[in-house]
Each structure stands twice: as structure tokens, then as C-alpha cells.
Amino acid sequence: MDDGHRHINISMVPYDEDSEILTRLNDLDSWLKSINQLIKDIHLASNFVIDPLENDELWDLLDTDNSYVEREINLVIIYHFENLLYRTVTLWDLLAQFINRYYCLGTNMRKVTFKNTIENSRLEGTIDSKLKEIKDIITQYTLSDASDEAIMTIKLLDFELKIPSGIHAKIRKMRNNFTHKLNDSRVTDIYNGAHSEEFEFHVDQPPLDNLNEVLTDFVMAVNFLRIVIDDVRSEQKISRFLSKYHLHQ
């Protein structure tokens, strides 16, 4: 596998165990292509949020007390922030699709979500792997509680990362509140922290903090994907298959 750019011709492989491995690799290749495209889209969306926040001329306009200009700028930033948020949540679901296919969990592709496939599953794969170890690493992060305000240490492939607990839960809640907001005209409440009975969603922290949390959640998803891909590359059946057909990882 090389970031999803090589597709192996199934006609070159006899129908046996090798054929099953090839089918699995081609499916993983397809999911990886989707993931790579989504990562590019997330990068683009994050730039659309960050660039206005770093534009001094734009903030000079806000000093004129022009509420219309401020509202329009906020709406543009909010639009791209919401786009970034949804795409980040989608990335976790694509990670679940990749895990579901590689570890042969058997969940119908149309029913796969990160929550029901990873967090709420016993993950009884049909191949020898370190699946449960990977689940423990991932859910240590995703199921952590934001209320204790602790700093947690996540062990990744070649380094440890210290981050505040509960970030993934915050992102989920933010996404759900975006989805169920009652009145689009109150969308700028995310930035000014306003609160009303009509529109209960607001962000208590400055927007850059919320942006940092979403990007942290994105980075964690990518790092967990790296762990799974490392497991793919180390699987003996796949290594023997690639050597047999003179292919390279």
C-alpha cells in the first residue's frame, strides 16, 4: 500500500487465500484513497478558517464597529469551521470503515460508524492481529472525560502525546449541537458566547481554542490510522503475498 495509488489486478491471482488477501488489499486501497482526499479537504477547510483570523486588515475593519461587516465575517468563518468540524467527524467514520475491512469485523459497510463499530463493539476480528490493543489505545482517547480537566498521555507508534482529556467528546457534542441548532440566525453565538433558551449552543472558549480542539481531534484520527496501517504492513500473510507477486509495500 502506498497511500492508495496502486491497484492490483485481481486477474493475476488465483482464486484461493491469495485472492481473499488481494480483495481485502484492494478494498483497503479504496478506503485509503477516500481518507486521503478527505484529509486534503480538511486541510483546505482549516485554511479557510485560519486565514481570516490571521488577517490584520480584516480585524482593522472590525474596529470600525460595523456590526454588518462583523456579522458577515463571522458567518464566513463559521461556515468553514462547521465544514471542518463535519469533515473531521467523517474522518473518524472512515477510520472505522478501514478497521472494519482490514480486521474482517463483518459490519455492513452502510452501517459502519466509529461509535458502533469501534467503541461499542467487542471487535472480534477473524485474523490474528493486535486489534484489541489498538482499540484500547483509540478508546483511551475517544472515551476520556472532559470534566476532570486532566492531561492524558497517548502512546502512538514512535512517540507519546500529551493532550487534555475529553477533546473527542467535546467535538462530538459540538457537532451534534450544530446539527440540531434551531435558528441559523443565531449561528454567531459560537463566537460571542451568547446564550438564549431558543438557541442553547454556544462556545465558552475563544474560537481559536475550539479550532485547536478540532485540529487536535483530526491529528489523533490520522495517528490512529497510522497505527492500523503499521499493523497491515506487519501482517505476515500480506508480506508473503507481496513477496510472492513481487510487489512492494
DSSP structure string for 1-28: --TT-----GGGS-SSHHHHHHHHHHHH
Q: b vs e for 98-107, b when ≥16 Cβ sit within 10 Å of the residue's Cβ?
A: bbbbbbebeb
pLDDT of 231 > 80? The answer is yes
Q: Considering the domain boundaries, does residue 4 fall inside one?
A: no
For range 182-196, the mean pLDDT? 43
Q: Considering the domain boundaries, does residue 32 fall inside one?
A: yes
Higher-confidence residue: 246 or 157? 157
Q: Considering the domain boundaries, does residue 130 fall inside one?
A: yes
State pLDDT tens for residues 62-90: 555 556 666 677 778 888 888 999 999 99
- 203-204-207 Cα angle (round to 5): 60
For range 158-187, the mean pLDDT? 76
pLDDT of residue 248: 61
Q: Residue 93: which pLDDT band, with cuts at 50, 70 and 90?
A: very high
For range 150-173, the mean pLDDT? 88
For range 114-123, the mean pLDDT? 79
Domain that holds residue 136: 13-244
DSSP conformation letters of 90-107: HHHHHHHHHHHHHTT---
pLDDT of 174 > 80? The answer is yes
State pLDDT tens for residues 16-67: 777 888 888 899 999 999 999 999 999 999 998 888 777 766 666 555 555 6
Q: Considering the domain boundaries, does residue 249 fall inside one?
A: no
pLDDT of residue 49: 87
pLDDT of residue 6: 52
pLDDT of 168 > 80? The answer is yes
CB within 8 Å of 208: residues ≥ 6 apart: 53
CB within 8 Å of 51: residues ≥ 6 apart: none
pLDDT of residue 219: 95
Higher-confidence residue: 184 or 219? 219
State pLDDT tens for residues 193-216: 443 444 344 443 446 678 889 999
For range 172-190, the mean pLDDT? 62
Q: Residue 188: which pLDDT band, with cuts at 50, 70 and 90?
A: very low
Report how many domains make up the chain. 1
pLDDT of residue 95: 96
Choose the weakest-confidence range: 101-105, 126-130, 131-135: 126-130
CB within 8 Å of 161: residues ≥ 6 apart: 153, 154, 220, 223
The average confidence (pLDDT) of the chain is: 77
For range 127-141, the mean pLDDT? 81
